[in-house]
Chain A
């Protein structure tokens, strides 16, 4: 086993891991603000990629314009999802919420299939396909985009939650909903906000990964699951722990695919998911009561 090859696996694992981290943080933000596991999260990832394609092909927009349009539309659908599916629930019991988010996910996927068919599509990379040498390994410019954008989003996220009144209010809702209401925070508005942020982040993840992995109406299922796994490893943190969770998952997958067989790639996420849920349900780094934001 050569060092260069190992480095190669780790590097590509890092960039898929970054994607998982973004999706995972989306799960965590909604979970922390509302207690809901949004099983439709993966669909917003899919929408990011597919809508970029739509704006590129059907509207003939250049890539730099298609991307913000796609993010805007995905975010709007996240908002609509909260308004139409979550908010009207009379009895938001956990089981009802699971059913409604899974139902929503199936609906979005179904509509996308009707609209775009079952084919897989490619989005052009953001800046060329000339490999870049890193040590003995190579990466693509798109990998750098992925890592850079992920870092930027994580930093923005941190800033929002720790340095803006709205972000602090969202954390307050996560910690103590009733007290949040009693200081004048409109908890339902914060729920809506959490869906907006998560669907925006999910769609960005879907867009930046699409040039590497292709996209189709059903990519949200696997990506959503991987993101969920990252969040579980991170103990549903919407910060560092889930990022590390995503990176661990990405690297393990890439090593597993490289060293054992690429057939095992997706199984790894399932195995980790089950192990964590059985052995450390509070996440890899969590104390029993962990700081989740």
Chain B
């Protein structure tokens, strides 16, 4: 479904991604693990067109999307839940969700089906329901994360990119988020590329994983293989509890 071929991405002179290649099959959940600054966010942003690759190819459903602008990429069916949530703080919860469906409104899709999907988001995250008129910026971090995921789902993406959705969240909220990710896979078969600090939880959820170190992919394999790998254990699983 998604393929990255020999991707290099630069920030000015900083060479952030070095010859990254990866692939996702339809219906898979794949996780990217790596230390801070390894380049995980950059991979997602290169896929989303925010920080275009300086060389290499990004293919989505066998189409070149390497040079497309972010909005075109969303249109093709890839939505990103960015690092740090990035909800529109000065807009209400409902408006945030509506903007998630911006392209569907633009393509004159039936309002009823958009409304239905919005209500569905509220069943996924019941906590958002009685905050629907509230400004997003006034909610807790966990609620903003739920909103950010909801907003991305409103676009009905074929592929969902998630950047550290559990960052800074309390354990209960963390569980809630992961419960929804499980649900997405079982009920909707959404394909997911998940960047996550909690490597253990991520590997438990995912089918496969890639390990990234200073802009290079140093290891890949099924979740089970990675969980058993001594290097991975030492570097990424060691400090995790439970």
Contacts and interface: CB of A to CB of B under 8 A. Distances in A.
Contacts of A168: 91, 95, 98-99
Given A165-B99, A183-B102, A185-B99, A171 B69 contact: no
Given A165-B98, A169-B99, A172-B99, A179 B71 contact: no
Counting from the closest, the 6 A-B pairs by CB-CB distance are: A184-B74, A181-B70, A179-B86, A184-B103, A165-B105, A186-B71
B238 to A, nearest CB: 33
A231 B182 CA distance: 49
Contacts of B48: 182
Contact of A183 (B49, B50, B74, B89): B74
A188 B69 CA distance: 10
B179 interface: no
Contacts, number: 71
B80 A176 contact: no
A168 B105 CA distance: 12
Nearest to B44: A182
A187 B72 CA distance: 11
Contacts of B15: none
Contacts of B106: 165
A176 B85 CA distance: 11
Give the residue among A179, A181, A184, A291 with the most B Cβ atoms within 10 A: A184
A175 B91 contact: yes
Given A165-B98, A169-B102, A175 B151 contact: no
Interface in B70-114: 70-71, 74-75, 79-80, 82, 86-91, 95, 98-100, 102-103, 105-106
Nearest to B155: A184
A183 B90 contact: no
Interface of B: 48-50, 69-71, 74-75, 79-80, 82, 86-91, 95, 98-100, 102-103, 105-106, 151-152, 155
Contacts of A181: 49-50, 69-71
A176 B79 contact: no
B155 A183 contact: yes
B98 to A, nearest CB: 6
Interface string A96-110: 000000000000000
Contacts of B99: 165, 168-169, 172, 180, 183, 185
A168 B98 CA distance: 9
B142 to A, nearest CB: 18
B179 to A, nearest CB: 24
27 contacts: A165-B99, A165-B105, A168-B99, A169-B102, A171-B88, A171-B90, A171-B91, A172-B88, A172-B91, A175-B89, A175-B91, A176-B88, A178-B70, A178-B82, A178-B86, A179-B88, A180-B88, A180-B99, A183-B79, A183-B99, A183-B100, A183-B152, A184-B70, A184-B155, A185-B99, A186-B71, A188-B69
B50 to A, nearest CB: 6
Interface in A20-56: none
Contacts of B71: 181, 184-187
A175 B87 CA distance: 9
A189 to B, nearest CB: 8
Contacts of A183: 74, 79, 99-100, 102, 151-152, 155
B81 to A, nearest CB: 9
A179 B45 CA distance: 11
A41 to B, nearest CB: 24
Contacts of A172: 88, 91, 99
Given A165-B102, A172-B99, A187-B71, A182 B50 contact: yes
A182 B45 CA distance: 10
Contacts of A180: 88, 99
Given A180-B88, A186-B71, 7 more contacts: A171-B90, A175-B90, A175-B91, A181-B50, A182-B86, A183-B152, A183-B155
B131 to A, nearest CB: 18
Given A165-B98, A172-B91, A184-B103, A179 B74 contact: no
Interface in A252-285: none
Given A172-B91, A175-B89, A185 B80 contact: no
Contacts of B91: 168, 171-172, 175
Contacts of B69: 181, 186, 188
Interface in A144-175: 165, 168-169, 171-172, 175
A184 B151 CA distance: 11
B225 to A, nearest CB: 32
Interface in A175-227: 175-176, 178-188
